[in-house]
Structure 1
């Protein structure tokens, strides 16, 4: 049995939460020793802490996901700051930028993301970062907040970004997309990330690996580990050891 670390999942999601006990049992059986459970908005933060309070292998992080950034996000952020101060073991996020065409709130996203990074700097907490089609702006904002440790979840950036992001205190987490042979940029990045900055995740309940039923769950992490091991031409045990030793908390 190998020990694994799922660097990003959403156990509080309605697709998983009602069956949480069995999901944790299957994760335990699969060797998942730690899981990072990321909240996305004020409607699910308490459920994140319920998961972590009942299961010590669950590490909580809470934030405002870019999909849920509203015009009055500052009011919600006040509640986030209070809850983070009340729960000093919690990380910050999921937060970040998503510049897909269907989102027109780019300015609000940027301001909200910067507020998360500033708060993480003050509190000394790690940050779970979401980035889609926004790497240029992401870099500009991250340069202003080099101190907090950042998990770039489901990393989809170019290989050329890795050196500067590493200098900006970033870790790189790969999900089930790395299994897809057509995901050439993701697979190239998974092969190139420094050993000491490599992480793996399921992003449950989304993106179940081929052959695994929906919803996705942490027990499926071994499929991601196998794909990353193949890309880096090392053993599954080596990837498990590396990613397990890169836990930030």
Structure 2
């Protein structure tokens, strides 16, 4: 079966020793496409470089809420320039993280709003990071009804998922759906329309069971697919094809 890892971080330092070997192995493991997602200006540049080097990798560029404290106005101009690159397909990851609060919440909101305004102006989709900030995130997303997006690494409620679908968002799931303590995500997976589901690893993080604790890579995405397919009562091959096409549609590939 062919899979689309719609959210990965191969620029991460945990791949420095063997990045090329890992990436070159992925097509033989059924990985058709990878979206490599920036989280600050430097990793956004690195994501573009990876997309230039590997034909199955596409890039997203953006500033994660953790790095909002370092965001300056000139960054918007550079993001706009990067978004014009033919291998860049989305703005992200962006959003709010009230779990760690590595940046002040006021800075997080300001930078999130500025990047949403850029996405609207350039008509590009967004990749959303939300942790313990659901209400504020939804409030901001509702201000931009023309912007399409995906809420990545989703672990929220059906009620939250319903609000995201009203905004025409996709919802993406990662290896945490295989964990024993996963409760809400399986309910959402079972409920969601098939055309709104995307799959991801968020590698090098979130390795699925039985590989939890290891460095993750896209080769483990089949476990996410198998788990989600079992929840929905369909074959892994069926869900792989559906989510491959969903990812291609979202990233315009």
Q: Deviations over 1:20-69 (max 9, x none)?
A: 22112321111110111001111222211111001111110010000111
C-alpha distance in structure 2 between counterparts of 1:45 and 1:35, whole Å? 15
TM-score if structure 2 supplies the norm length? 0.92
Within-5 A mapping of 1:69-84: 69-70=68-69, 72-84=71-83
Q: For residue 143 of structure 2, what is the aligned residue in structure 1?
A: 144
Q: For residue 237 of structure 1, what is the aligned residue in structure 2?
A: 237
Q: For residue 54 of structure 1, what is the aligned residue in structure 2?
A: 53
Question: Residues 116 and 46 (structure 1 numbering): CA distance in 2 closer, same or farther, change over 3 Å?
Answer: same
Greater alpha carbon shift after TM alignment, 120-129 vs 84-93: 84-93
Question: Residues 203 and 230 (structure 1 numbering): CA distance in 2 closer, same or farther, change over 3 Å?
Answer: same
Q: Does 1:27 align with 2:30?
A: no
Q: Structure 1: 5+ residue runs without aligned partners? A: none
Greater alpha carbon shift after TM alignment, 5-14 vs 67-76: 67-76
Query: How many residue pairs are counted as aligned between the two chains?
Result: 248
SS of 2:207's equivalent in the other structure is coil
- Report if aligned partners of 2:59, 2:90 keep a CA contact under 8 Å in 1: yes
C-alpha distance in structure 2 between counterparts of 1:88 and 1:147, whole Å? 23
Question: Residues 69 and 87 (structure 1 numbering): CA distance in 2 closer, same or farther, change over 3 Å?
Answer: farther
C-alpha displacement at 1:208, in angstroms? 1.2
C-alpha distance in structure 1 between counterparts of 2:131 and 2:71, whole Å? 22
Question: Residues 58 and 101 (structure 1 numbering): CA distance in 2 closer, same or farther, change over 3 Å?
Answer: closer
- Report if aligned partners of 2:52, 2:87 keep a CA contact under 8 Å in 1: no
C-alpha distance in structure 2 between counterparts of 1:39 and 1:16, whole Å? 15
C-alpha displacement at 1:149, in angstroms? 1.8
- Report if aligned partners of 1:178, 1:190 keep a CA contact under 8 Å in 2: no
C-alpha distance in structure 2 between counterparts of 1:227 and 1:165, whole Å? 23
TM-score if structure 1 supplies the norm length? 0.93
Q: For residue 186 of structure 2, what is the aligned residue in structure 1?
A: 187
Greater alpha carbon shift after TM alignment, 203-212 vs 174-183: 203-212
RMSD (Å) for aligned C-alpha atoms: 1.7
C-alpha distance in structure 2 between counterparts of 1:28 and 1:71, whole Å? 36
C-alpha distance in structure 1 between counterparts of 2:101 and 2:144, whole Å? 28
Question: Residues 54 and 103 (structure 1 numbering): CA distance in 2 closer, same or farther, change over 3 Å?
Answer: closer
SS of 2:215's equivalent in the other structure is coil
Greater alpha carbon shift after TM alignment, 3-12 vs 109-118: 109-118
C-alpha distance in structure 1 between counterparts of 2:149 and 2:16, whole Å? 26
